[in-house]
Amino acid sequence: MRVPIAAMLCLLVASCQARAQTRPASNPPPSGFVFNDQRILGLIPNYQAVSDPNAKVAPLTVKQKWALAARETFDPFNIASAGFGAAFSQSADDVPNYGRGPAAFAKRFGAAVGDFGSQNFFSAGLFASLLHQDPRYFRRGPRAGILSRVGYAVSRVVIARQDSGRTAFNYSGIFGMSLGIAASNLYYPANSINGSVVASRFGTSMMGGAIGNLLSEFWPDLRQRFFHHKHPLG
C-alpha cells in the first residue's frame, strides 16, 4: 500500500526544507544536491522501483518478496505517514471513527499501520509469491513520451510483471489490496464498516498506488533536472 496522499505531500514539503539545510553524504557537484534512486528527495521510499528501463534484472525470490513487504511496512517514512494520516483523521473526526483523545489517536495510528501492513503482507508477500508476480514498479523511462509514460505508470496499478517477464493482470496487487481492506474489519469500529467506506478506501488505495508509480517514473528525470545528477537513466 502506498502512503496516504495528504501525509505524503506534507512530508514532501518538509523534506525539501530539511534538505536545504542538510549536506548529502556523497560528493555532489558544487551546483546542487545529489539524490539516489533509493528514496525520492532522500525521504520517500523508491526501492520498490527498477529505475533503469534497460537493466536486465532477475525476478525476486520468495524470500526477497517477503523482505520487500516487510521493508515497506516498517519503513520510517511510512510509519511517519501513518502518524500524519492518523492526526488528520483525528482532527476531522473521520474514518475510522474512534472518537477523540490520546487513546483514539493511538487506535487511529495503529489502524493506519495495520492498513498498509496488511496490504503489503498480502500483495508483495503472499500473492506475489503464490502467483509468481513481481511487486516492483518497472520504469518506462524518457525514451517514451510524457503522456505515454503517465498512462503506463497509472496502468501498472492493474498490470503486473510475471516472474517470467510477461505482463498479466495485477492479481497480487488487487487481491492483496482487497484482502487488506477486508482485514481492517477486525479492528475498525462497527460504525466505520460499510459499503461506502470500503469503496472509498479501495479508491484511495488505487489512487495512492498510481501516484506512487508516477513518482517512481519521473523522479530520475526531476533529479537530473533540478539536482544536477550526471547519470540519467533510460
CA 122: distance to chain centroid? 15
- Report whether pLDDT(18) > 90: no
- Do residues 8 and 44 touch, judged by C-beta distance below 8 A? yes
More reliable by pLDDT, 15 or 194: 194
How is the chain split into domains, by residue range?
5-9+60-227
- In this predicted structure, what is the pLDDT of residue 198? 86
Interval 72-120: pLDDT, tens:
999 999 999 999 989 988 888 777 888 888 998 999 899 999 998 999 9
| 221/141 Cα distance (integer angstroms) | 9
- Report whether pLDDT(153) > 50: yes
Place of cell 489502524: 111
DSSP character string of 55-117: ---PPPPHHHHHHHHHHHHT-HHHHHHHHHHHHHHHHHT-SS---SSHHHHHHHHHHHHHHHH
Report whether the peptide linkage leading into residue 29 is cis, meaning its omega lies within 30 degrees of zero.
Answer: no
Q: Which of 103, 216, 72, 115 is nearest to 156 (CA)?
A: 216
Beta strands in 90-211 (DSSP E): 133-134, 137-138, 159-162, 167-169
- Do residues 36 and 45 touch, judged by C-beta distance below 8 A? no
- Report whether pLDDT(139) > 80: yes
Max Cα-Cα span within the chain:
57
- Report whether pLDDT(232) > 80: no
Backbone angles phi, psi at 77, to 5 degrees: -65, -45
More reliable by pLDDT, 5 or 197: 197
Q: Which of 149, 170, 131 is nearest to 51 (CA)?
A: 149
pLDDT grade, residue 234 (50/70/90)? Answer: low
Question: What nine digits make up the cell of 109?
Answer: 495510528
Question: What nine digits make up the cell of 4?
Answer: 496516504
- Please compute Rg for the chain using Cα positions: 18
Sign of CA dihedral 75, 207, 211, 153: positive
When the pLDDT of each residue in the chain is averaged and rounded to a whole number, the result is 84
pLDDT grade, residue 230 (50/70/90)? Answer: low
More reliable by pLDDT, 7 or 195: 195
Tell me the C-alpha to C-alpha distance, in Å, between residue 23 and each of 42, 94, 112, 182: 11, 39, 32, 44
**pTM across the whole model:** 0.80
pLDDT grade, residue 233 (50/70/90)? Answer: low
- Do residues 75 and 44 touch, judged by C-beta distance below 8 A? no
- Report whether pLDDT(130) > 50: yes
- In this predicted structure, what is the pLDDT of residue 36? 63
Interval 33-87: pLDDT, tens:
456 678 999 899 999 999 999 988 999 999 999 999 999 999 999 999 999 989 9
